Amino acid sequence: MHNGPSLRERKKAATRAALAAAAVRLTRERGVEAATAEAIAAQAGVSARTFHNYFASREDAIVHHLETLVDTLLDTLEDMPRELDPMAALRQLLLGAASTRQHELADLVGALHLVEAHPTVASCNQALLTRTMDRAVRIIADRAGINGDTHIYPRLALGVASAAFNSAAEVWVRGSPSGRTLTDLVDEAFTRIADGMTAPGTDQNPRSQEPPWPPTSTA
């Protein structure tokens, strides 16, 4: 009877994850050139030789971190109740992640920014992007009962959900002036989409709590 990964395999997976997370963190904090194999290994508490046993480059480590986070989200999406329509499932997925896995989501945003900002990371990420998008399209198409190869809906739904989350995460990472949580912001983003993207100040959305802009003087 198979009892899952051995202790050795679990330790190797943990080391790989720690190195990948350290690569993302160092690159975000100090820049891509500072994220050497030695610096990444030191952050993870291992030797540079150990780093090279797991990854050929820092770009590989960053992409691995992104791949792990995205695959976990897609696994969860695939297992969600079948009665949820695709947009409801995506909303519930991202609200749940925002509530319980904020630090991982912040890392995901950071990794995506690195992919966009650095051509060497982007080139390593291309195969991952293609694979994960294909899988996500299949999941959404299956839930909607349509052909994902010929119907625009799966890619449109994923693009809208991604924009909703990214917009919320950007505000959250910068620090929401009204103290809203990431969950609040993701929920508002999906609510605004469902309401037809009415401009702030012209809607009656009780979730919208943005301070006025420009700020009024209190002097």
**Average pLDDT estimate for 149-178:** 88
- Percent above pLDDT 70 for the chain: 78
Predicted confidence (pLDDT) per residue in 20-71, tens digit: 989 888 887 887 788 899 999 999 999 999 999 999 888 888 888 888 888 9
Residue 20 near residue 64, CB atoms below 8 Å? yes
- Percent above pLDDT 90 for the chain: 43
* The token pair that represents 158 in the structure block: 């994923």
**Structural domain includes residue 31:** no
Q: Is the pTM of this model over 0.75?
A: no
* Buried/exposed 67-88: b ≥16 CB within 10 Å, e otherwise: bbbbeebbeebeebeeeeebbe
Domain count, the chain: 1
**Reported confidence tier of residue 191, pLDDT bands at 50, 70, 90:** very high
What domain range is 135 assigned to? 58-194
Assign residue 126 the CATH number of its domain.
1.10.357.10
**Positive or negative, the Cα torsion across 24, 29, 33, 38?**
negative
